[in-house]
Structure 1
Amino acid sequence: MEKKTIREIASAWKEDKRPYVKRSTFAAYMLILENHILPYFGEYYVLKENYVQDFVLQKLNSGLSIKSVKDILIVLKMMMKFGVKHEWMSYCEWDIKYPTTESIKSLEVLTITNHRKILNYIRKNFTVYISLSTGLRIGEICALKWSDIDTDNAIVTVSRTIERIYIVEGEEKHTELVINTPKTKNSYREIPITKELLAIVKPLKKVVNNEYYVLTNEEKPTEPRTYRNYYKQLMDKLEIPKLKYHGLRHSFATRCIESNCDYKTVSVLLGHSNITTTLNLYVHPNMEQKKRCIAKMFKSLGI
């Protein structure tokens, strides 16, 4: 059996993988390879558990989240299986341990007051309004066309996303703006339009070109980075504390949960791959909710 280094296996694995994944996915794999796997494992011939465990602890200590490290290990394991298949290396089982002390990070969410403040202000400039009333990701809102807004049935259809990806071609590295299919099959979705949003877009739909992008009202879209800068300026103008654009999506989901919407419906509206993602992100009962739950239970027992 001819042994190969991880760097050599990675080179062959890249070319094998390229035709079968989206460009954005391939670009993400390349970033993980360049920034994490090859600098650490490039000259290794075997991936023993203790090597990988040491790598994990080093990455966590450098500030990466457990999720980010697990994403790196997914790519590392794919490469190992590829190397084993071609008999270039031996397969190793891993039982990686992660610290249990990582606290749950609180989501950045608008207060109800600031949520209303934005909605009231941007009736005249409604693009941020769409995110706050639909929960779209920034890439989805940037890729939204007028044809995706059905005012007759009051529905927004999410069928594409836009993102800037990092391309590595040998020694050449550059970024490229690409329009892609949504993140997962669940991200293809239809979202009802509120009567307030419908009142804003219905007159516009009569005069716009259906094939133009909503944010630019042109045949070319804007990219997330540009729109994010516009959003920051808007938040400064409204004197609202800094909140990442994704916080609008979190705010939409949080308001849905606070309004006692059922979790499955919220999950479908957000385009999550499964309801567990929604539960882990947004369903964290506070003490008052816990008290009400127990009181309700005792009341049902007639106590």
Structure 2
Amino acid sequence: MLALTWQDIDFKNEMLFIRHTQSIIKKDQKNILTLTEPKSKSSKRIIPLSPFLLQFLKKMKEKSSSIYIISTKRNQMVSIRNYQRLFQNLLCHCHLPLYSFHSLRHTFATRAIEWGMDVKTLSEILGHANASMTLNRYVHSVFVHKRKQMNQMTKSLI
């Protein structure tokens, strides 16, 4: 997410291209942020964007002078460490439990399955090589959802 540039969004065709990832390289005792190729073939992907999200991104782009969708005040790439710190501070400020920013990916996967997204589609959106990776590592069963599924099954049998 932090490696996304405005060139990665095709507003006309409503698509997001995942073409690179953020990496940290050491140079002269300093950490330098850079864009690199994704780690696997499945990590490079195209994600369809909803009209709501497109409108939001268009408004963001109008106010941005950076090549990055998420950037520092100096229009530089934001490091994952700084973004995580910002996220933790936001959670604290809102008196919410502390989670990692990455946990939102797990929440997205779980909710997508609960709302009826098929596993293959979700797996491709997340950039996983196969659906079992998505199910085993990212999708967490929720008891309320189990009850709803059992009730639906019972209704179909009656």
CA distance in 1, matches of 2:30, 2:46: 34
State the secondary structure of the residue aligned to 1:190: strand
Cross-structure match for 2:40:
184
CA distance in 2, matches of 1:290, 1:193: 28
Offset from partner CA, 1:247-293 (integer Å, 9 cap, x none): 11111111101101111011011001111101212164745256347
Q: Which has the higher strand share?
A: 2
What are the within-5 Å matches in structure 2 for residues 1-303 of structure 1? 141-164=1-24, 175-206=31-62, 208=64, 212-216=67-71, 220-281=76-137, 282=139, 284=141, 286=143, 287-288=146-147, 291-292=150-151, 295=154, 299=157
Task: Note closer, same or farther for the CA distance 1:262–1:159 as it changes in structure 2 (3 Å cut).
Answer: same
Q: Which has the higher helix share?
A: 1
Task: Note closer, same or farther for the CA distance 1:216–1:175 as it changes in structure 2 (3 Å cut).
Answer: closer
CA distance in 2, matches of 1:145, 1:250: 23
* 8 A Cα contact 2:6 2:68, kept in partner: yes
State the secondary structure of the residue aligned to 1:221: coil
- 1:178 deviation in Å? 3.4
CA distance in 2, matches of 1:193, 1:262: 17
- 1:231 deviation in Å? 1.3
When structure 1 is superposed on structure 2, of 213-222 and 195-204 the one drifting more is 213-222
Offset from partner CA, 1:18-65 (integer Å, 9 cap, x none): xxxxxxxxxxxxxxxxxxxxxxxxxxxxxxxxxxxxxxxxxxxxxxxx
Offset from partner CA, 1:130-149 (integer Å, 9 cap, x none): xxxxxxxxxxx111101112
Which amino acid in structure 2 is aligned with residue 242 of structure 1?
L
CA distance in 2, matches of 1:197, 1:271: 20
- 1:205 deviation in Å? 3.4
* 8 A Cα contact 1:164 1:178, kept in partner: yes
Q: Tell me, which stretches of 5 or more residues in structure 1 are unaligned?
A: 1-140, 168-172
* 8 A Cα contact 1:263 1:278, kept in partner: yes
Q: How many residues matched? A: 153
Task: Note closer, same or farther for the CA distance 1:296–1:186 as it changes in structure 2 (3 Å cut).
Answer: farther
Structure with bigger gyration radius: 1
Task: Note closer, same or farther for the CA distance 1:199–1:176 as it changes in structure 2 (3 Å cut).
Answer: closer
Question: What TM-score, normalized by structure 1, do the two folds share?
Answer: 0.44
CA distance in 2, matches of 1:206, 1:245: 26
CA distance in 2, matches of 1:207, 1:220: 15
Q: Name the % identity.
A: 32
CA distance in 2, matches of 1:198, 1:148: 13
* 8 A Cα contact 1:143 1:213, kept in partner: yes
CA distance in 2, matches of 1:166, 1:206: 34
* 8 A Cα contact 1:163 1:224, kept in partner: no
* 8 A Cα contact 2:21 2:37, kept in partner: yes
CA distance in 2, matches of 1:292, 1:190: 36
- 1:193 deviation in Å? 1.8
CA distance in 2, matches of 1:207, 1:191: 24
